[in-house]
């Protein structure tokens, strides 16, 4: 069974979706720990309630990003994590960290990458007049929000949507479905990142990200 660690900074709704999928027998992995860079992140309570070990590694306790990331790796290696899942983790990671965990490091981003990398994606979708919005699960590389995509869920933006509604729709209709599915594919060996950056799904290269239509029953 692969060992999964999750990095969070806040609410932990994606973390909860992963734990729930695991409870329902859909995610064959061991959750070895949850790290937050913030004290009191609500997601820590979700982890504790599920009996998953928690740790806080405060970014403010370190002189620079390199030292913070080294402390993260130390904790993740103490847990012997095979996979590291970023779930609302709001710190930019150093190339040393992303290289160390390459091919074993996943992120979920609230936009249809490559559109709207970075923050405030929902507002930017509205400002740009985008007709579609969604979320992307991708392998993390040193290029912020630029690593190879695995799955994207999309929906049509309606005239009534404000940024808050878009955030809710992204979470409820997309993120909590695609992230557990992507992690399940990774830990079961269905999905792999090749050294040159190609994503292989069941032995064939992915030419485009998987979609909501590819979700298996239960997700």
Decide: is 13 part of the binding site for ligand GAR (CB under 6 A).
yes
Per-position x/- string for 32-71, each x denoting binding to ligand GAR as judged by CB under 6 A, each - no binding: -----------x----------------------------
Binding test (CB under 6 A) with ligand GAR, winner from 137, 141, 175, 177:
175
**CB of residue 109 to ligand GAR, shortest distance in Å:** 6
Select the span of 4-12, 63-71, 150-158, 185-193 touching ligand GAR (CB under 6 A): 4-12
The answer to whether 201 touches 170, Cβ cutoff 8 Å, is no
Q: Does 171 bind ligand GAR (CB under 6 A)?
A: yes
The span of 9-17, 46-54, 55-63, 149-157 binding ligand GAR (CB under 6 A) equals: 9-17
Residue with nearest beta carbon to ligand GAR: 88
- 3 versus 91: smaller Cβ distance to ligand GAR: 91
**Is residue 20 involved in binding ligand GAR (CB under 6 A)?**
no
Among 88, 67, 164, residue whose Cα is nearest residue 123: 164
Report in angstroms how near the CB of residue 90 gets to ligand GAR at its nearest.
6
Report the C-alpha gap between 15 and 33 in whole angstroms.
11
**Could you tell me which stretch among 3-11, 47-55, 157-165, 209-217 binds ligand GAR (CB under 6 A)?**
3-11
Q: Is 109 marked active-site?
A: yes
Which residues are CB-neighbours of 17 under 8 A, at least 6 positions away?
175, 176, 177, 179, 180
110 touches ligand GAR by CB under 6 A: yes
CB of 120 to ligand GAR, least distance (A): 9
| Residue 202 vs 210, nearer CB to ligand GAR | 210
Cα 111 from Cα 27, distance rounded (Å):
24
List active site positions: 109
- Residues lying near ligand GAR in the complex (CB under 6 A): 8, 10-14, 43, 87-88, 108-110, 135, 171, 175
């Amino acid at each position: 069974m692969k060992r999964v660690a999750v990095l969070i900074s806040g609410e932990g709704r994606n973390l909860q979706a992963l734990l729930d999928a695991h409870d329902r027998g859909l995610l064959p992995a061991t959750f070895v720990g949850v790290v937050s860079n913030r004290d009191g992140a609500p997601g820590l309570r979700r982890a504790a309630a599920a009996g998953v070990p928690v740790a806080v590694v405060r970014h403010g306790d370190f002189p620079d990003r390199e030292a913070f990331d080294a402390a993260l790796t130390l904790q993740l290696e103490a847990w012997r994590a095979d996979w590291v899942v970023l779930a609302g983790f709001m710190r930019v990671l150093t190339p040393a960290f992303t290289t160390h965990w390459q091919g074993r490091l996943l992120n979920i981003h609230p936009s249809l990458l490559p559109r709207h990398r970075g923050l405030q994606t929902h507002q930017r979708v509205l400002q740009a007049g985008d007709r579609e919005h969604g979320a992307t699960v991708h392998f993390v590389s040193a290029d912020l929000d630029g690593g190879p995509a695995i799955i994207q869920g999309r929906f049509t933006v309606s005239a009534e949507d404000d940024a808050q509604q878009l955030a809710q729709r992204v979470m409820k209709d997309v993120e909590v479905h695609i992230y557990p599915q992507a992690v399940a594919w990774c830990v079961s060996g269905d999905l792999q990142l090749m050294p040159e950056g190609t994503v292989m799904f069941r032995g064939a290269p992915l030419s485009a990200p998987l979609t909501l239509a590819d979700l298996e029953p239960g997700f």
